[in-house]
Homo-oligomer: A and B are copies of this chain.
Amino acid sequence: MDSDGRRILGVVLFDGFELLDVFGPVELFARLTELFEVHFIGPDERPVRSAQGKKVVTDHPYADAPPADISLVPGGTGTRALAGDAAFGTWLRGWAGSSEIAASVCTGAGLLAAAGLLDGYRATSNKRAFAWVMEQGPNVTWVRKARWVHDRDRWTSGGVAAGMDMSLALIAHLHGEELATRLADAVEYDWHRDSEWDPFAVKHGLVVE
């Protein structure tokens, strides 16, 4: 926590991160200025290029990342190269592994899994890239049909937009359902409160209806 007792949400950025995986959750957490402080962590001091090409300014390089209460790993095309990067995996295991809660959106679960951070946990991920994500974590219990999965100190969501539902559920878990509802209403977001609501698992052929 910072000196005002707010939780630090550290968001890992990397070349080819998916924009909404980051900015859906950040829109929600960053509005609660008295409860959370959002830090962007990037490979170095330079702005980080998203999968969509747009660049975002970071707050700290990986090597100098402050301890996070909640670590959040987004997905995106950049995860494919990064999952095999041993130095990144070692850093992520240390940094995210020491946070109170380690969370991922979309194929970010593949990075948590490759770093061993989901071993022995239940977890989910993007429904179109599920096969690749499962390969990253043979010791993970992968849940094919789930909007998000909360297992002890790990929170993992489905693809892209699912990160917003998970974020609201996590905020409700920490600070109550009423606050999360007010937040969803303020940003006019139709929050799916049921973690098992997942039409996309069927649409993308992971489960039979």
Interface residues of A (CB under 8 A from B): 18-20, 22-24, 26-27, 30-31, 38, 40, 47, 52-57, 126-128, 158-162, 164, 185-190, 192, 199-200, 203-204
Is B20 a contact partner of A40 (Cβ separation < 8 A)?
A: no
Q: Closest CB of chain B to A33's CB: distance in Å?
A: 9
Task: Kindly name the residue among A24, A54, A55, A159 whose own CB sees the greatest number of chain B CB atoms within 10 A.
Answer: A54
The 6 closest A-B pairs by CB, nearest first: A23-B23, A30-B52, A55-B57, A20-B27, A161-B189, A160-B187
Shortest A21–chain B CB gap in Å is: 9
**Given A38-B52, A188-B161: A26 and B19 within 8 A (CB)?**
yes
18 new A-B contacts, CB < 8 A, other than A38-B54, A55-B56, A56-B57, are: A19-B26, A20-B23, A20-B24, A20-B27, A22-B23, A23-B24, A26-B54, A27-B52, A27-B160, A30-B54, A31-B52, A38-B52, A38-B53, A160-B189, A161-B164, A161-B187, A162-B188, A190-B199
Q: Are A128 and B56 in contact (CB under 8 A)?
A: no
